[in-house]
Structure formats: C-alpha cells, structure tokens
Amino acid sequence: MSILTEMMNEETKSFASSETIKLQLNQIEVNPLNNAPIEDIDELAQYIKEDGLKEKPRVYQVSNNKYRLLSGERRYRACKQIGITSIEVIVEDKPETEAEELLEIDASNETRLQSEQFLDTRIQLLSKVYDLKKEEGAIPSGTLKRDWISLRMYRKLSPRQIQNYLSGNVKALQAENIQQDKPEKEFDIEKEADKKIKQLIKLYEWICDNQELLSDETNEKIASRINDLDSLVRTYGR
C-alpha cells in the first residue's frame, strides 16, 4: 500500500462509524498525545461567542461518562473560557493503534497556522508515528523518515527542511527563514544590459589582442565559435 493510499484511507476511516451527541464539557478530556501548542484562544473564544460553535469537535469514549478529544482542543478550551457548559460532538470509534490516533490528531491540526513552534511539534509527532509504523512493518522498505514526513505533509516542507527540524539544526532553519523573508530584487534591465555589454567589450578586446593566435589554422574550431558569436551579436544587435 502506498503512503498516499494510506493517507486517503485514514481520512475516510473516521466517517465509517460516528454519531453526534451533546456532552457536558466536564465529560470531555484533552488528548495527551496532542502536542500542538494552544494558540490564539482569546480570538477564537470571541468568534464562538459571537457566531457560535460552527464545527463540532471529534471524540471517542474512554469510559461510561468520559470522552477524549481527537480534534477540537482549541474550540474546547475556548468554550470553557467563555462559560459554555455543553457542546455537540461527533463520537467515533477509538483508533485501533497509537499510530492511528496520532495520525487522526495530525489530520485535525493540518489547517492550523503553520507557526515555527507548531511545525516543530507536528514534525516530532509524525516522527513518532514513523517509528511506530516501522515497528509494525507498515513503512515501505527504504523509505527515509524525512521523506515519509515530507510526503505526509503534502510537501509543505522539503525532506532537507524536515531533517533540520528533526536534528534541531536551528541555525539552518533560521538561515532558510531569512532567505525566504528577503524581498525579491527588482530586475533592472538597464543595469543588467550594461553589465553584459561590459563583458562583451572585454571579450572583444581579448579577441583583438589574440588575432594572430586565433587565425592559426590549428585553431579553426575556436575561430568558428568566434564567428558564431559575431553572427549572433549582429543578428540580435540590429
């Protein structure tokens, strides 16, 4: 089974058996496997206060009266902050393995703002999934961790960038960010043309200084190439 097929199966699996019910917030607990940072709760809380909870959190049952979040921890915390006591949730089957549960959590976090801190925690989570799946024999032979994670993230980061996160190479990451943040220089056609003309003048001067050598019959190939250059200059210099 390919990695892409595996991801598609995971995305559809959660819809196979689910129901919507209303739960008290004290019946819901956060998922200890979710390592994503909790950001912008105040803004989200204000949005829910004004417009209501538009997207239902997903949970699975852990005991008679307790449910654990698979998605929606920020929404859950925002609701608590503004005093909401009960919400509608989608109850699903508990994932069969820890790796599957981690992938469910990652899938629910994909649309979040890709901050530096979030990317780091997400890559660490996927690194753990890779290790678990490799133990299960579910990773295709020869697939490197950095390549698997990059594909899992739909190549939002290159394998090289993934490796920098995995190894904690902060300097490389900072250098990449600085390079990405640099504004593109505006192309100056006049300046570029002036530079190329100066190069052509130097070449022309060199040809003039070496006329005798270049006219030697042993250098016919060089002479032919110079004639090609001369023809090209005449054609595009009209």
Q: What is the DSSP string of the chain?
A: --HHHHHHHHHHHTTSSEEEEEEEGGGEE--TT-------HHHHHHHHHHH---S--EEEEEETTEEEEEE-HHHHHHHHHTT--EEEEEEEPPPSSHHHHHHHHHHHHTTS---HHHHHHHHHHHHHHHHHHHHHT-SPTT--HHHHHHHHTTTSS-HHHHHHHHHT-HHHHHHHHHHHHSPPPPP-HHHHHHHHHHHHHHHHHHHHHTHHHHHSGGGHHHHHHHHHHHHHHHHHT-
Instruction: Return the percentage of the chain with pLDDT > 70, whole number.
Output: 74
pLDDT over 70 (residue 140): yes
Give 208 or 175, the one with higher predicted confidence. 208
Residue 174 confidence (pLDDT) above 70: no
pLDDT > 70? residue 180:
no
Residue 17 has pLDDT above 70, yes or no: no
Global confidence as pTM: 0.65
Enumerate domains of the chain plus CATH numbers: 1-112 (3.90.1530.10), 116-182 (no CATH), 190-236 (no CATH)
